[in-house]
Structure formats: structure tokens, C-alpha cells
Chains A and B, each alone.
Chain A
């Protein structure tokens, strides 16, 4: 009662707007478990990226020569595809929060198309390398790293696509007036990780000479 009287008799001063007090509490999107997975996967890729960078120090000429054989434009297009796919999935999350299922599914489909484009281009790149006689375990450290790093990343892209597909099916089964975005937020967080990892991989493997 005393507190209620205090609040009534002490309204917020005019220079302290109400919205300052109404600021939303910090919130982690999706399931907390996926964030532990993200930390673990991030740490694993950090080890791989570090191993690549420090192995390069000892095999500079080999790495620089082998890197010339990569298609820089394909790497850049794949970066743009993943960034666009991530943006589409982030827009899908907003659409679900806004209660518009059709729009959310449209963004999700566009995001998955971007991911599929990435997979297609990556497989074409692998095919070109195989045609040139370049593969894993051929006494070339650079290409061993290239196939391990990009192959491991590609597996994450495929896992992300599967998760987004399952979420899309789940959204279709939900009632239009009671959309739940928890599963979508969880899959989206993983999908953005896939994007984040590529943002380091692209300059490291494709760009810097």
C-alpha cells in the first residue's frame, strides 16, 4: 500500500520518458540449447581457421600458388547467396511475429532457395576441381584444408536447410491465428551461424593471398 501511494505521488519526471522504464528485458531468440551448439561449432571452426592460417605461415609459397586456382567470383557469389538467405530467414522471423504465415513462408522459401543456390555452386566448384585432378589427400596441404573446411561448412548448410524445411512444414500445420515462432527462431539462429562462419572462411581461403 505504501509503495502504491509512493508511485502515485511520484510520477516519472518529464525528462525521464515512460519508454525508458518499459524497455524490453534481454531475450535470447529460440531454444537456449541451439546457442550452446552455436558456441561449440564456432569454437570448432576457430580451431580449423587457426590451423589453416598458421600452417600457411610454414607453407607460404604452396598456399599462395594453390589459392590462385580457386574461383574468387564463385566464393563472392556464394557469400552474397548466404547473406541474402540469412536476411530472408530474419525477415521470416519478423513475419511470424507479425502473425503473417503466408509472408513468413515466402521469406523462408526464398532463404532456402539462396541456401540451395550455395550448395549448387559449391558442388560445381568441387566438380571443376575434380576435373582438374585436384582432390583430397593428394599431397597438397592447401587443398586438404580447402576440402575439409568447405566440406564441413557445406554439411552445416545442408543441416540448416533441413532444419528450415522442417520448420516450414511445422508452420503450415499451425493455426493462422496462433503462430508460434520458437522453432523458426531456433533454426534461424543456426542458419545465421552458417552465414557467420562463411564470412570468415571467404576472405581466409579465397581472398587473401
Chain B
């Protein structure tokens, strides 16, 4: 892992967080739509994968460990989106 790549990942993670905050702040999430739910949790998933691969350094780890964490994150993200879909009128 090169320091500059690590710095870039950190900046992207901060930018994604700011975008999520902005979505919540502007009231864009007040109308429950599956596309918005998918966008917010898709972004959270992407951020999580960034942390898993680059901060946790699982990009260079045995594949089973890498996929165990990414698989777990994907599972809970899909489960949450399913629950929000069920709650959408």
C-alpha cells in the first residue's frame, strides 16, 4: 500500500460521507424511495469495501478472509435495503 493511495482513499471516504450528510440535510430522504435507499446504502457499502481492502489491507490477504468480510458487509447491506423496501408504502 502506497501512502498517496491511502490518502486518496481517505479523501474519497470523506467526500462520500459529506454527500450522505448533504442528502440527509436537504431533506432529499424525506420521501421514501427505493432508489434513494439503494443510493445511501450503496455508498455505505462502497465506503466499507474501501476500508476492508485498503485500510484493513485485505486486498493482499488470502481470498477467503477478503470475501468473508466483503460478503458479510454485502449481506447486511442487502438485508437493510430489503427491510426499507418492505417499509416503503
Contact = CB atoms under 8 A, between A and B. Distances in A.
B55 A50 contact: no
A109 B57 CA distance: 21
B55 A200 contact: no
Interface stretch (A6-14, A51-59, A141-149, A150-158): A51-59
B40 A87 contact: no
Contacts of A38: 69
Interface in A8-35: 24, 26-29, 35
Contact of A49 (B43, B63, B80): B80
A196 B58 CA distance: 13
Q: Which 4 A-B pairs have the closest CB atoms?
A: A53-B83, A76-B21, A87-B10, A207-B24
Interface stretch (A77-85, A123-131, A160-168): A77-85
Contacts of B69: 38-39, 42
Contact of A83 (B13, B43, B73): B13
Contacts of B60: 24, 26-27
Nearest to A79: B17
> Interface centre among A35, A42, A79, A80, by most B CB within 10 Å?
A79
A36 to B, nearest CB: 10
A94 B32 CA distance: 43
A125 to B, nearest CB: 15
A186 to B, nearest CB: 12
Contact of A28 (B1, B62, B83): B62
Interface of A: 24, 26-29, 35, 38-39, 42-43, 45-46, 49-50, 53-54, 56-57, 60, 72-73, 76, 79-80, 83-84, 86-87, 89-91, 93-94, 189, 192-193, 195-196, 199-200, 202-204, 206-209
Interface of B: 1, 3, 6-7, 9-10, 13-14, 17-18, 20-21, 23-25, 29-30, 32, 37, 40-41, 43-44, 47-48, 51-52, 54-58, 60-63, 65, 68-69, 72-73, 75-77, 79-80, 83-84, 86-87
Contacts of A24: 60
A209 B29 contact: yes
A111 to B, nearest CB: 11
A94 B63 contact: no
B51 A86 contact: yes
Nearest to A45: B76
A80 B17 contact: yes
Contact of B10 (A28, A84, A93): A84
A80 B3 contact: no
A42 to B, nearest CB: 5
Contacts of B52: 196
Nearest to B61: A28
